A and B are shown apart, each in its own frame.
Chain A
């Protein structure tokens, strides 16, 4: 128990001292995860809208596949992307392996199904009359989608926050595609895994605190939106 308390206290001191290495690690995490969440949202939200409002063959199958992909293990994505970007892969010449870009690619694949399925469920819960009303008031397809988007914003914010929470906390993709290179691709989760392996708990615990704080912050933002959009 003393050991844990000591680690915790040292971790807080480390955070207080704004250790440059620690800040760099946090920076990588935030940058990579924010970018992948942004890309996944730009793809997943419109995809969710299209899947909800368009009738096409194989729609039910596509939704089932997306739901299945929600349970995709990060190491499987890591392996899959590795196969494409490693030296022997078809994109090997792009030298993507062990870069932040590689981490982003993997993370985007991880959360596109999350953003898309949560968008589908948020949008399809919106009363059909919003769409009909917008149409009868003379709105075109895009303006109608905007109305539905506005009404569904609470659910959509939840989808994006879920996705961000998933990528900031994942370790498999970051480790396999980023390689935990100090100063380049070392992020909070890979650093924690490494420090744990080394038996150095202080940095691990400090990073754990930061990770939880980020999650906490996301939840506060989430509740802020909830308060704003709930009737």
Chain B
């Protein structure tokens, strides 16, 4: 277990930006923190890097309680390193930037030069060795920042939106680097992203953050709606577009719901499914996702559904066809 968070809260000016009941991040994995802007991803990342202290709650790092008030943070910080969204390189050469962590760790000159070369090679920036760091493009800067982070010999590398401000080419390179440092160098990687596809492509585990909270298993199909009780006392959530979903919990009033894509049922027709929370829609897109297929169905709202490849074959559905979907009450989370 790498991190163990309990009842963690961060409050800024009376506003709770992070409120995590319970979260465990495993060692040796690539973990994605997924969520829209303002979900608290960066705040969480800074707390995980121990450069920001939580307002309340406990963090354990590798089984040991982290004491934010005490002075032992520098030893902890040296085990991990943060690559910021728009990393800052010091006003000097690329090589000097990568050498900085080595220098403060008092690594002697020949070894330092060898490591700088090796790390720049890893991120494909060796030819920029003597270039001035502030003349690099966004993607190049990001790659040098990763090399500099690796020069800290971290056990964990944390990256804030590593590909958000770079072009497509650099995005591919950076994703390759992330995989490589995790597998070849055995470094745990934690990164934030608002790109669901990127998270599922890179991460072994994805944590979805929404408004400062960890949403349980889902990280998609988020809608705002309004809960009413009907005449039978059942709770109904009214969504935009006039859709109505029966829900189990949640107080009457404005809410947000998320629907677990793994629990949504798909049939060839709406009639194949039991009538509650069932809709007919058009299949917009099918995407291959390792052992499964992600289907995007337009039922007035866009629903993302994960189904097995076998199930897809049984169904024999194609893009453009009408399909039936049903959202069981257990698949809906109200928050």
A-to-B contact residues, CB < 8 Å: 127, 129-130, 132-140, 143, 147, 150-151, 229, 231
Closest to B80 in A: A136
CB within 8 Å of A: which of B276-302?
Answer: none
CB contact between A229 and one of B88, B91, B100, B152 (< 8 Å): that residue:
B91
CB contact between A143 and one of B49, B88, B104, B151 (< 8 Å): that residue:
B104
- For B, the interface residue count at a CB cutoff of 8 angstroms equals 24
**Given A138-B77, A140-B74, A231-B134, are A133 and B101 neighbors across the interface (CB < 8 Å)?**
no
Q: Are B81 and A137 in contact (CB under 8 A)?
A: yes
Q: Are A138 and B104 in contact (CB under 8 A)?
A: yes
CB within 8 Å of A: which of B213-270?
Answer: none
CB contact between A137 and one of B91, B92, B132, B148 (< 8 Å): that residue:
B148
Closest to B90 in A: A147
Q: Closest Cβ of chain B: how far from A163's Cβ, in Å?
A: 24
Q: Are A151 and B90 in contact (CB under 8 A)?
A: yes
C-alpha spacing A147/B89, complex, angstroms? 11
Q: Are A137 and B88 in contact (CB under 8 A)?
A: no
**Given A135-B51, A136-B51, are A127 and B104 neighbors across the interface (CB < 8 Å)?**
no
| Other A-B pairs beyond A229-B91, A231-B132, 6, CB < 8 Å | A129-B84, A129-B87, A137-B149, A138-B77, A139-B100, A151-B90
B21-65 interface code vs A (CB 8 A; 1 in, 0 out): 000000000000000000000000000010100000000000000
Q: Closest Cβ of chain A: how far from B147's Cβ, in Å?
A: 12
Closest to A127 in B: B88
B-to-A contact residues, CB < 8 Å: 49, 51, 74, 77-78, 81-82, 84, 86-88, 90-92, 100-101, 104-105, 132, 134, 148-149, 151-152
Q: Are B77 and A136 in contact (CB under 8 A)?
A: yes
Q: Closest Cβ of chain B: how far from A147's Cβ, in Å?
A: 6
Q: Are A129 and B78 in contact (CB under 8 A)?
A: no
Q: Closest Cβ of chain A: how far from B70's Cβ, in Å?
A: 15
Closest to B84 in A: A129
Q: Are B81 and A150 in contact (CB under 8 A)?
A: no
Q: Can you sample 8 A-B contacts with CB below 8 Å?
A: A127-B88, A129-B88, A136-B51, A136-B81, A138-B74, A138-B105, A139-B104, A147-B90
Q: Are A133 and B152 in contact (CB under 8 A)?
A: no
Q: Are B88 and A138 in contact (CB under 8 A)?
A: no
**Given A132-B51, A132-B84, A150-B91, are A138 and B134 neighbors across the interface (CB < 8 Å)?**
no
Contacting residues, chain B, for A151 (C-beta < 8 A): 90-91
Contacting residues, chain B, for A138 (C-beta < 8 A): 74, 77-78, 81, 101, 104-105, 152
Contacting residues, chain B, for A136 (C-beta < 8 A): 49, 51, 77, 81-82
Closest to B158 in A: A136
**Given A138-B101, A138-B105, are A133 and B88 neighbors across the interface (CB < 8 Å)?**
yes
Closest to A146 in B: B104
Q: Are B82 and A130 in contact (CB under 8 A)?
A: no
Q: Closest Cβ of chain B: how far from A227's Cβ, in Å?
A: 13
C-alpha spacing A75/B49, complex, angstroms? 54
Closest to A147 in B: B90
Q: Closest Cβ of chain A: how far from B245's Cβ, in Å?
A: 44
C-alpha spacing A134/B90, complex, angstroms? 9
C-alpha spacing A180/B69, complex, angstroms? 57
C-alpha spacing A12/B105, complex, angstroms? 57
Contacting residues, chain A, for B148 (C-beta < 8 A): 137
CB contact between A133 and one of B77, B87, B91, B92 (< 8 Å): that residue:
B87
Q: Closest Cβ of chain B: how far from A140's Cβ, in Å?
A: 6
CB contact between B104 and one of A129, A133, A137, A150 (< 8 Å): that residue:
A137
Closest to A153 in B: B91
